[in-house]
A and B are shown apart, each in its own frame.
Chain A
Amino acid sequence: MPEIIFIQADGTRRPATAQDGESVMRAALSNDVEGIVAECGGAAACATCHVFVDDPRVPPVTPIEDEMLEATAVPREPGSRLGCQIFVSRELEGLEVRLPETQL
């Protein structure tokens, strides 16, 4: 089971174990990591699972995700992603995921 690292807006680092195939959003919730709201539960419909990643191993943004990223609470940045659209696998071991100040 891959380990990924959540970094809160204040810099606090929190390693979390993800199930293989689980989304970054689910991994945050099931590890009780604060900072993700995920109102729509992973349907790419709410943009309250906004995260920042800067890692070439992560597959690119899909068109739907790209459009929904315009709805994030804090402004979109080059590394902005929807946590529910990134799926963790062994290839992403050690992935660093930064969380925004707020999701609402």
Chain B
Amino acid sequence: MSAGVVVLGAGQAGFQLAASLREGGYADPITLVGEEAEPPYQRPPLSKVFLKGGDGPESLSFRPPSFFERHGIALRLATRAMRIDREAARVLTEPGGWLSYDRLVLATGARNRPLALPGAALENVVALRGAEDGLALRAALARSRRVVIIGGGFLGLEVASSARAVGAEVTVIEAGERLMGRAVSPAVSRHFLEYHRSRGVVVELGQTISAILGEARAEGVTTTEDRDIPADLIVVAVGVVPNTELAEAAGLAVDRGIIVDHALRTSHPRIHAIGDCARFPSAHGGGLTRLESVQNAVDQARCAAADILGKPQPYEAVPWFWSDQGERLQIAGLTADAEETVTQGGPEAFSVYCFRNGVLIGAESVNRPADHVKARRMLAGGERPQRAAFAS
């Protein structure tokens, strides 16, 4: 019998890969190896409803245990992959020892970028990635009045919105000159700046943190403008780094992500990499790209599964993303390289259409799901709409 597929990382991408393999008729063993104790679960609610509600981590799980039993997907939870032995086609797990594979899939995701400052390890300086973090942050929010969030990206702003909703005084400190600066157009940044300020969130732009105050517990931060901001809780949301160490040690090509081709194969033909850890040639502009989104994790998993099933197809799915910060933001395509934008709609609900070389590359929709749906269709079609087709 074949040793089957071993998946390292039982998150969004790993779960989907296993499910898609079975859906496609894969008959050999499938083993999901995951460091976390929980069965595979979704992360997006962690910064949103989960922080505001009282549901336990089981409310996040993709499927009940019976699903994995029924489909013959072996879950090796609370198990860490330590080393890949490419020659012998096996992985060292802890606990559990060696595990042989026919095909290996790396779905190790990303981890939060730590803050390189004294005091960053204090108990009330926290970050959010997993269910345990979510439980801890929810409990900490309930005891805290003043919350400082470092980083004004999607995650930081979602936490800001949730913290505000449960009654905290919230300050967001963002190093860039605008919110979500690397990800969205200036018009969308501006809208969310006004929105969060209107909800009473203090937003400091163009500033970073020079020190965390306090000895036993953090009591606040000092900004680079030399201002002290008191806090009972500090949330660090300054981006992630992909988990590439296993791949690197195994001699796979790694450069700001595990390098893969159009079929999500690494530099070794029996090993795929998918999701937050993979850097792939994007069919939607931007060259080699690494994305952190549910869409990317799910569609890459489907694509890698098809390749393992012997039906390869290039990874060309239209990127899409959503962020719920009290206001609803939906993005279709990759908009970071836009040269020109056209905004349609009013102050409360609008879409920013983004163009490069006169051709549509994406759309950012605020409270306009219908525009988002249409933009996804347009980007999936062969003929990309021209700038001229959009009235300002």
Which residues of A does B touch, CB under 8 Å? 26, 29-32, 39-45, 47, 64, 67-68, 70-71
Task: Tell me if A41 and B322 are in contact (CB < 8 A).
Answer: no
- Once the chains are docked, how many angstroms separate the CA of A42 from the CA of B324? 12
How far, in angstroms, from A64 to B330 measured CA to CA in the complex? 12
State the CA gap A55–B44 with chains docked (Å).
31
Report the minimum CB–CB distance from B329 to chain A (whole Å): 10
Which residues from B are CB-within-8-Å of A26? 59
The stretch among B77-85, B271-279, B368-376 that forms the contact with chain A is: B368-376
B205 within 8 A of A: no
Cβ 8 A contact of A70, one of B45, B64, B370: B370
Is the pair B373, A68 in contact by a Cβ cutoff of 8 Å? yes
CB A48 to nearest CB in B, in angstroms, measures 9
Contact B373 A64 (CB under 8 A): no
B64 engages A32 (CB within 8 Å): yes
Does A64 lie within 8 Å of B328, measured CB to CB? yes
B64:A40 contact, CB within 8 angstroms: no
Which residues of chain B are within 8 angstroms of A45 by Cβ–Cβ distance?
322, 330, 369
- Complex Cα spacing A99 to B63, Å: 18
Contact across chains for B328 and A30 when beta carbons are under 8 A apart: no
A39→B294 contact, CB < 8 A: yes
**B63 near A41 (CB under 8 angstroms)?**
no
Interface string of B65-95 (1 = CB under 8 A from A): 0110010000000000000000000000000
Is A29 a contact of B62 with CB atoms below 8 Å? Answer: yes
Q: Which of A30, A43, A67, A68 contacts B324 (CB 8 A)?
A: A43
Measured CB to CB, the closest approach of chain A to B38, in angstroms, equals: 14
